[in-house]
């Protein structure tokens, strides 16, 4: 889907520390609330971003602080888009993941590997590419149905 022309955009840049992911999460939550997403939708969009950036800090930057993660939030007429850029190690392809487990098999319940699944289930589009030494992740969330849409500004 063509997201249409950007209405407005904001760039956030954070140092690669997990404590900063909280601040990003709170900002994303605020955007979503403003855009009339429901509590659960706003939580889920926040969750997707938190998972994405946590993943970058842990895997692209190996948990090292002092590296930059840049998040551009763009408001389009029909959707909210996020572009997350880092200069760390290439990430494994972000293919849709499955999460299969037997809920009664206690010892084999997953404790990790859920972040990508969450991103794909929550967002309407997830794309990853590597370009110019950068990991570029784009996430798109379509607006709620008509009636709960924000007014155009």
Partner 1 sequence: MSMHDRARGVMTRRDFLKTSARISAGGMGCAFGLRPGKGYADTPGVAGNRVVWVHDGQATSWDGITGHYRDYVDQARVNSMIERGVKVLTGQPTSIAAWQQLIPGYSAGKKVAIKININNSAGDTYIDALPQPVNGVIAGLKSIGVGESDIYVMEPSRVFPRAIGDPILALYPNVLIWDVSWGKTYGHGISYGSSDPSLTIRHSLYPSLTDSKLPDQLGEATYLINMPILKGHAGGTQITLTFKNNFGFFEGSNISKFHEFCFPSSGAYSYSGNPLIDIYQNTHVKDKSVLIIGDALYAHRISNSGIPEVWNTFGGEFPNSLFFSTDPVILTFKEFLEKRLDASSATDFKGKMVDWINRGHRRIVLDLSLVDFVDSSGLGAIVSCLKTLGEGGDLVISGIKDAVLSLFQLTRMNRVFQIFPSPDAAIKGLSD
Looking at 122, 123, 126, 139, which residue binds partner 1 (CB under 8 A)? 122
State which residue, 81 or 115, has the beta carbon closest to partner 1.
115
Looking at 27, 91, 118, 136, which residue binds partner 1 (CB under 8 A)? 118
Q: Rounded distance, CA 83 to CA 89, Å? A: 17
Spatial neighbors of 38 by CB under 8 A, at least 6 apart, are: 144, 148
Bridge partners for 14 per DSSP? 69
Spatial neighbors of 25 by CB under 8 A, at least 6 apart, are: 46, 49, 50
Task: Give the interface with partner 1 as residue ranges (CB under 8 A).
Answer: 18-19, 21-22, 25, 39-40, 42-44, 46-47, 50-51, 54, 57-58, 99, 101, 103, 106-107, 109-112, 114-115, 117-118, 121-122
């Amino acid at each position: 889907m063509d997201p249409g022309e950007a209405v407005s955009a904001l760039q956030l840049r954070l140092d690669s520390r997990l404590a900063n992911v909280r601040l990003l999460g709170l900002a994303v939550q605020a955007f979503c609330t403003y855009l009339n997403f429901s509590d659960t939708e706003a939580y889920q969009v926040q969750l997707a971003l938190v998972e994405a950036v946590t993943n970058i800090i842990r895997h692209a930057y190996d948990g090292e602080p002092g590296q930059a993660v840049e998040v551009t939030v763009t408001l389009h007429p029909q959707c909210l888009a996020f572009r997350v850029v880092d200069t760390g190690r290439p990430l494994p392809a972000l293919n849709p993941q499955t999460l299969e487990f037997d809920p009664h098999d206690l010892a084999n319940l997953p404790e990790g590997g859920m972040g990508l699944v969450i991103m794909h289930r929550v967002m309407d589009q997830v794309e990853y590419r590597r370009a110019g030494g950068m990991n570029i992740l784009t996430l798109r969330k379509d607006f709620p149905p008509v009636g709960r849409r924000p007014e155009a500004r």
